[in-house]
Structure 1
């Protein structure tokens, strides 16, 4: 039976490999937002660069945050004159299972990235055979790394009290979201490890700048000795900066603040030293996922290594900004070399190396 299943998988892979080699692979990306969303615009631009590097025809649909809209788009694409060789998408409002059911129905290899299935424990290539893989940001590690960077920075600045303790508060996103829940877990893990840090309170600000501004003023009024503020994204970090300035606190001087996303506002605040730490780089996942799909369609199955990948965000601070700013300030994705990451195009490569630093290398 095991031999039969192995042969079945080999035949399945070979079918798509032959199809892809007959012409440029056609891959469809279901963008969960719209073209005005800066984060997802970065993701799409990176994927277009990757598709150009790898020789893929990339199509993009925009769901405008509509779960039903994305489902309809999948059906339209699957029933079009040329069915795509593969599809990529993040889970939107827990639509992962319904999207995978469509992939099974239309027999299209599907790859999930950025946001995964949380409604039930599922792994690629188990219940859904056409779900070939997934790549998700290690959100818990991001929350942890952000907290540790802030604690280290606050200590370097000598912001601790007479007992060498730091006082921290936090701004949560939406804890029902994949990112919000796991980033918060990372914060709590860091607090448990750093016994000299007292976390006074976290408050939900739902990823929103204005809510974060108000919640920051409220919490700092309650805990005036606060010297560390952890925010689960850049929007809330910027709101925190504005809130603190409104009550005459000095971000970056008497309180350190950090966020996640590498947004334009976040990077500007980092350059002005109003933010001390900023995590990001997960917009690269679309390009990395596309590299895996390219190899898969070319007959090099990434499953020999794994089918589920976790990507680690990079920490940006004053000491390493020079490495990333040329790319991030100009959105010059041509600096990224995706061909160097492919096993198909680099037969000597034994393991994938999906780090932003590696993607910037020649």
Structure 2
């Protein structure tokens, strides 16, 4: 009996010892805990963490930067500090968290929104040895691709003819939103026949975009193109168009970014003409890098400190159906361990892409 009890205690101790040794990660999710994009983002991260043996905790700010700062303080100055803190420079809050992290021994990685050039100039990177850099997507290209695809589907414009465009950007003080808007402006420079009648900041919100679009469609009844920096705003604007008696996908062409079930269905039904997606996978790829760093890999040798991954791509009907079929388990078929740089040559580059999910 004594041997049995000792054996049990040894097994429990070994089990908890293994658990305690798992590399711990906290992700400060800037979105709502009911927000489709950020929930799917966190789910993909969890799938990666499980495959890689990481202990991941996702904390939602509910779109309140003050909540993010409070959560960061708890993670960085509390009694149970993680090995890594992953955060988003939403509303420009990253420098405050970097300063907060000084002396904590917690390593920090920025995703989605990196530091702005102005923030980089103001911060002395040498003061933050635990700051690992950033992992972002090609947001500018995403904004560019949407308008180009809208124009391709619209077809040629008669000589001296014009097209009227309405645009819904995200949050004014978020680098991701600004980058997508820059992509829009690049496409506009290439197509002088397109007249941008109005650009508004929908704050990523379906209801806000609905309210804005209701007024804009009355003000600009000739508008035939709508560019939206995310899916929620596109869906809100489409709802407003329905109220005017016109049909999305026929009378007015819409674009969107993201891969929520609603927008994927709209793409399949032809109500969304140009859909761009892929960046919900970014957090999962970040988990691969943190796993490698914890294993002693110099991840900067495999892509640099400020890393931009080409994740955005146009989603056709077949791919939209595939993403719908995978909903909630997009990471199940991805071998995250195989993507690790552990044991790979110095020239190895992480092959992160949406195709790993769509295959």
TM-score, structure 2 length as denominator?
0.84
Q: CA 1:197 to 1:66, structure 2 compared with 1: closer, same or farther past 3 Å?
A: closer
The SS at the match of 1:278 is strand
1:41-190 superposed matches below 5 A: 41-80=39-78, 82-118=80-116, 120-121=119-120, 126-155=126-155, 160-161=157-158, 163=160, 165-190=162-187
Partner of 1:286: 283
1:232 to 1:163, Cα distance in 2 relative to 1, 3 A: same
Contact 2:43/2:328 (<8 A) preserved: no
1:33 touches 1:63 (CA, 8 Å); kept in 2?
A: yes
C-alpha distance 295-359 of structure 1, shift in aligned 2 (>3 A): farther
Q: CA RMSD in A?
A: 2.8
Q: Could you tell me how far apart the structure 1 residues matched to 2:144 and 2:197 are?
A: 17
Instruction: Name 2:245's counterpart in structure 1.
Output: 248
Q: Deviations over 1:167-218 (max 9, x none)?
A: 3221222322222222211111101012333323323333332332343343
Verify: 1:324 aligned to 2:323, yes or no: yes
CA deviations on 1:83-129 (whole Å, 9 max, x unpaired) are 32211111243221121122222121110111233351258954421
1:57-76 Cα deviation digits (max 9, x unpaired): 11233333343433333333
Is contact 1:125-1:132 (8 Å) kept?
no
Give the C-alpha shift of residue 257 in structure 1: 0.3
Kept after mapping to 2: 8 A contact 1:233/1:259: yes
CA displacement 1:29-83 (0-9 Å, x = unmatched): 2222342222221121111100111111112333333434333333333455553
CA distance in 1, matches of 2:23, 2:241: 51
Of 280-289 and 126-135, more deviation after overlay is shown by: 126-135
Name structure 2 gaps, 5 residues minimum: 1-17
Instruction: Give the corresponding residue for 1:194.
Output: 191
State the shift of 1:360 in Å.
5.0
For the residue of structure 1 that corresponds to 2:120, the secondary structure is coil
**Kindly tell me: are residues 129 and 360 of structure 1, through their superposed partners in 2, closer, same or farther at Cα, counting changes over 3 Å?**
farther
When structure 1 is superposed on structure 2, of 122-131 and 105-114 the one drifting more is 122-131
Structure 2: how far apart are the matches of 1:134 and 1:177?
15
Q: In the comparison of the two structures, how many residue pairs are matched?
A: 338
Tell me by how many angstroms 1:262 deviates.
1.7
Structure 2: distance between partners of 1:93 and 1:38: 20
User: How far does residue 241 in structure 1 lie from its aligned partner after superposition?
Assistant: 1.1
Q: Deviations over 1:10-47 (max 9, x none)?
A: xxxxxxxxxx9x93212222222342222221121111
In 2, are the aligned partners of 1:141 and 1:183 still within 8 Å (CA)?
yes
TM-score (norm 1): 0.83
* CA separation of 1:201 and 1:70: change in aligned 2, threshold 3 A: closer
